[in-house]
Amino acid sequence: VMEASARFFEESLRSPAGAEARRYIEKRGLSRGAVGEFRIGYAPGSRSALKEHLGLAGFKLDEMTLSGMLISGDDIPVAYDRFRNRVMFPITDLKGRVIAFGGRALDPEAPAKYLNSPETPLFHKGHVLFNAQRARGPAHDKGRIIAVEGYMDVVSLSEAGFKEAVAPLGTALTEDQVRLLWRMSPEPILCFDGDGAGRKAAFRAIDVLLPHLKPGLSATFAFLPDGLDPDDLCRQQGPKAMEEVLSRTRPLAAMLFEREWSSGDWSTPERKARLEHQLRGLVDRIGDATVRAHYARDIAGRLAEA
């Protein structure tokens, strides 16, 4: 069902109905090569175009529903297509098989700009990274993996020569996704927008990472210039500007200290004691005793200096 849906969306993008989607893709500066490589497609605006296509191909209604491609339920008399009038990005497993989709709305009034497949027997979004299958080889060759925030960021970075880019699927980074990143590189680069939301997302990632740190396994943090995402940066200033961002990564220990230090005023002895207590509690969450001991020394040094 998922493979048949991917092919249908690819064909729809090439059809007259896909003209607006093609204009959007051109406006975003994507080449035909990228569209083909990522199998980008178009879900027509109809409530039944995909359902009819899959039906003619011999698939049953319950298979279409189980795969997440149709919306149905006790209060819905006629099941209908989940994705309508959207640019479609297939999400694959590590063997390259389509297991889900992400759809970008073309209608500015659509309730959700991005829509992912629901959880299905094939797809658990917290376990998967967009583009992981294609990024594995380049990550091994370059000795790094870059995690960015969205599908378009990944496609644009890949176009600019950064084939080792992946993205979580519209949610905060999960433990399973961290483990997947570590299979590709011992210190993945987590790349965030430079605005307040990007910093908050980076600070949340710290809590996910801390308990699982091991000797040699961590993450570094990179921040884009404020107001730009990787897509904007690569198009406006070229790949060199992105490479510069990636060369200025910050270690996890520095980010942890910055987060706690920026959360209050530590001008009195009692407040300093509270900050020290907070930091000690966070360091205690690190499961590995050796890493924990090194963090305790590192944080003590940063505290003394501050």
Question: Over the stretch 197-231, which tens digit does the pLDDT of each residue have?
Answer: 888 999 999 999 999 999 999 999 999 997 788 88
Q: Classify burial at 149, counting beta carbons within 10 Å of its beta carbon; exposed 0-12, middle 13-18, buried 19 or more.
A: buried
Residue-level pLDDT at 23: 96
Cβ atoms of residues 222 and 249 within 8 Å: yes
- Residue 104 CA to residue 188 CA, distance in Å, equals 27
154-179 pLDDT, tens digit each? 999 999 999 999 999 877 899 999 99
How does the average pLDDT of the chain come out, rounded? 95
- Do the Cβ atoms of 93 and 142 come closer than 8 Å? no
Distance CA 268, CA 207 (A): 27
- The pLDDT score that the predictor gives to residue 29 is 86
Q: How far apart are CA 90 and CA 131, in angstroms?
A: 9
Please say if the pLDDT value at position 18 is more than 90. Answer: yes
The conformation of residue 42, written as its DSSP 8-state character, comes to: E
Half-sphere exposure at residue 104, Cβ-oriented, CA atoms within 13 angstroms: 17
Segment 72-86 mean pLDDT: 94
Q: Which pTM was predicted?
A: 0.93
Give the contacts of 300 (CB within 8 A, at least 6 positions apart). none
What value does the mean pLDDT take over residues 278-282? Answer: 97
Are the CB atoms for 217 and 182 separated by under 8 Å?
A: yes
Average pLDDT over every residue of 45-62: 97
Task: For residue 13, name the pLDDT band (cuts at 50, 70, 90).
Answer: very high
Alpha helical stretches, state H, the chain: 2-14, 19-27, 32-37, 49-56, 61-66, 132-142, 151-159, 175-184, 196-209, 230-237, 239-247, 252-261, 269-283, 289-305
State yes or no: pLDDT of 58 exceeds 80: yes
Residue 67 has a pLDDT of: 97
CB contact at 8 A, 222 and 244: no
Q: Which residues contact 81 (CB under 8 A, 6 or more apart)?
A: 43, 46, 47, 48, 49, 50, 51, 69, 70, 71
The whole-number pLDDT of residue 231 equals 83
Mean pLDDT of 287-302: 98
Whether 136 has a pLDDT exceeding 90, the answer reads yes
Q: What is the pLDDT of residue 227?
A: 77
